[in-house]
Amino acid sequence: IRRRGETIVPRGLTVLLEGDRLTIIGDAQGIEQLNNKYN
Is pTM beyond 0.95 here? Answer: no
In whole angstroms, what is the distance from residue 31 CA to residue 15 CA? 21
* 35 within 8 A of 17, measured Cβ to Cβ: no
- Cα-only R_g, the chain: 11
3-class secondary-structure state, position 3: strand
Nearest to 17 by CA among 26, 25, 8: 8
In whole angstroms, what is the distance from residue 34 CA to residue 26 CA? 10
**pLDDT computed for residue 19 by the predictor:** 97
Query: How do residues 1-39 score in pLDDT, each as one tens digit?
Result: 999 999 999 999 999 999 999 999 999 999 999 999 988
**pLDDT computed for residue 39 by the predictor:** 83
